[in-house]
């Protein structure tokens, strides 16, 4: 099995927090309500009494209301839901380093979430069930890293319930990237876009006389990539990246651009901010 993250990286990631973890207002009020014996709307806080349970954890009000001994289950500090959308289009798979870097980012975000009791859901070729365990999440990422389809065109999953936080890791090499950003913004209360690019996509080499082939549409384009074209490409790239950032800002999405030369800690810091 492919090991996307090392043990040291996992240990380091468990000390990181998602934006709502530790400082979530919902988590603080729930804990205060629990101490004051107030109403708890979350059914997962109660469960039937079982042998061996501490009697001090019996919720007597619920027991009286439900006529069954109910105990109060101590819950983790946070219990949010994270949805990660991974672009598996051929452009993401063209550069092995880029694909590996994307899976490492995805796996790292999931580790941060599961280590604090949050559930994480991966949407790649298929929509996986929410995972709350770190090991299971890493196995899922490794499985996707190997088995993801390299020829299938990417499409955002539709008709998914609204989630608390959604992260989209993509290179956005789609002609309808603006439309897809709009669709992604409707997935969660909070959305974040990781614009992952390889170094050659930022500064293409001087290919000379070359026939360029689109990795997704297989379209050909013959041209001479010299210093002039290279400079003009970089100007177009900056304009394109700026347009994506503006669109994200308009949709209320967080945007960060990460290249394959960016190390994991820096990239994760950019995402978590």
Residues in contact with other proteins by CB under 8 A are 91, 94-95, 171, 173-175, 198, 201, 204, 206-217, 219, 221-227, 229-230, 232-233, 236-237, 240
Nearer to other proteins, 66 or 150 (CB): 150
At closest approach, how far in Å is the CB of 228 from other proteins?
9
Nearer to other proteins, 69 or 210 (CB): 210
At closest approach, how far in Å is the CB of 242 from other proteins?
13
CA distance 121 to 127: 7
Specify the residue for token string 């998914």.
160
At closest approach, how far in Å is the CB of 12 from other proteins?
31
Instruction: Tally Cβ neighbours within 10 Å of residue 203.
Output: 10
Nearer to other proteins, 214 or 263 (CB): 214
Alpha carbon distances (Å) from 72 to 21, 59, 115, 220? 22, 6, 22, 64
Nearer to other proteins, 159 or 211 (CB): 211
CB 120 within 8 A of CB 165: no
DSSP per-residue codes, 21-89 = TTT-HHHHHHHHHHHHT-----GGGEEE--TT--GGGB-HHHHHHHTS-EEEPPPPS---EEEEEE--S
Nearer to other proteins, 41 or 235 (CB): 235
At closest approach, how far in Å is the CB of 13 from other proteins?
29
Nearer to other proteins, 51 or 227 (CB): 227
At closest approach, how far in Å is the CB of 98 from other proteins?
9
Alpha carbon distances (Å) from 268 to 17, 131, 136, 207, 262? 11, 20, 21, 33, 10
At closest approach, how far in Å is the CB of 205 from other proteins?
8
CB 158 within 8 A of CB 150: no
CB 66 within 8 A of CB 105: no
Instruction: Tally Cβ neighbours within 10 Å of residue 221.
Output: 9
């Amino acid at each position: 099995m492919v090991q996307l993250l090392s043990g040291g990286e996992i240990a380091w990631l468990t000390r990181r927090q998602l934006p709502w973890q530790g400082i979530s207002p919902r988590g603080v009020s729930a804990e205060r309500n629990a101490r004051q014996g107030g109403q708890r709307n979350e059914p997962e806080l109660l469960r039937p009494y079982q042998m061996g349970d501490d009697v001090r954890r019996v919720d007597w009000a619920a027991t009286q209301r439900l006529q069954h001994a109910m105990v109060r289950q101590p819950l983790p500090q946070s219990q949010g839901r994270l949805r990660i959308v991974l672009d598996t289009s051929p452009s993401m798979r063209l550069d092995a380093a880029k694909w590996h870097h994307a899976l490492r980012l995805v796996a790292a975000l999931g580790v941060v979430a599961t280590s604090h009791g949050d559930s994480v859901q991966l949407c790649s070729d298929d929509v996986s069930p929410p995972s709350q365990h770190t090991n299971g999440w890493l196995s899922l990422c490794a499985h996707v890293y190997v088995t993801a389809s390299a020829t299938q065109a990417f499409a955002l999953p539709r008709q998914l319930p609204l989630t608390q936080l959604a992260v989209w890791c993509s290179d956005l090499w789609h002609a309808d990237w603006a439309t897809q950003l709009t669709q992604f913004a409707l997935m969660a209360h909070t959305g974040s876009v990781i614009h992952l690019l390889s170094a050659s996509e930022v500064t293409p080499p001087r290919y000379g006389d070359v026939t360029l082939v689109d990795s997704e549409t297989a379209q050909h384009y013959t041209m001479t990539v010299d210093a002039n074209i290279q400079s003009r490409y970089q100007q177009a790239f900056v304009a394109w990246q700026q347009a994506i950032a503006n669109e994200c800002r308009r949709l209320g999405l967080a945007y960060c651009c990460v290249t394959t030369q960016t190390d994991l800690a820096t990239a994760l810091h950019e995402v978590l901010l």
